[in-house]
Amino acid sequence: MKFAMLADHPETIPLIASWYFDEWGYLGRHTDRNHIENRLQNALHRENVPLTVIAFDQDELVGVAQLKYREMDIYPEKDHWLGGVYVPAEHRGKGVATQLIRRALDIALSLGVVVLNLQTQRLDGGLYGRLGWVAVEQVTYKGIDVLVMEKRLEDG
């Protein structure tokens, strides 16, 4: 598996936007694929947040993860977030998400991030719990029950 920055492969934006819309569009946060594409265009950074990490198997895009800034407005004190972790169904169960998350953590640490937060609809923490993320609290955010989790990067 090879990792890259979305900034180096902007041609993948329409596919990622389609994945995001198909997976989370029902939440109503993303009105259409064009809106998602515009948000991805605004995250074409390599060395500052927001940024997007993508994974390839050969020449096939197999996953995506984002480092975001202040994702949940109810937590103005929490600056850095992991989000948008997505692997298409045909590539799940192969460790792609785990590797993407670890790569995103490495990038965040290299940027001086000490604590990274995330929100997940998996109220048991799912994969994130298995990777050492700690539950902070369960909240209803914009009508959706989510678990807010954090990981202290200096702890490894």
- What's the confidence (pLDDT) of residue 107? 97
Residue 95 domain-assigned?
yes
Of 129, 90, 139, 82, the C-alpha closest to 106 is 82
Residue 139 domain-assigned?
no
Residue 40 domain-assigned?
yes
pLDDT in tens, 103-119: 999 999 999 999 999 99
Domain tally, the chain = 1
Instruction: Provide the residue range defining the domain that includes 9.
Output: 2-113
Torsion angles phi and psi, residue 58, rounded to 5: 60, -125
How far is it, in rounded angstroms, from Cα 102 to Cα 30? Answer: 27
Whichever domain contains 57, its CATH number is: 3.40.630.30
Residue 148 domain-assigned?
no
pLDDT in tens, 45-71: 999 999 999 999 999 999 999 999 999
Residue 150 domain-assigned?
no
Contact 66, 55 (CB under 8 A): no
pTM of the model: 0.92
pLDDT in tens, 136-152: 999 999 889 999 999 99
Number of Cα atoms under 13 Å in the Cβ half of residue 135: 15
Residue 120 domain-assigned?
no
Number of Cα atoms under 13 Å in the Cβ half of residue 29: 16
Residue 54 domain-assigned?
yes
Residue 73 domain-assigned?
yes
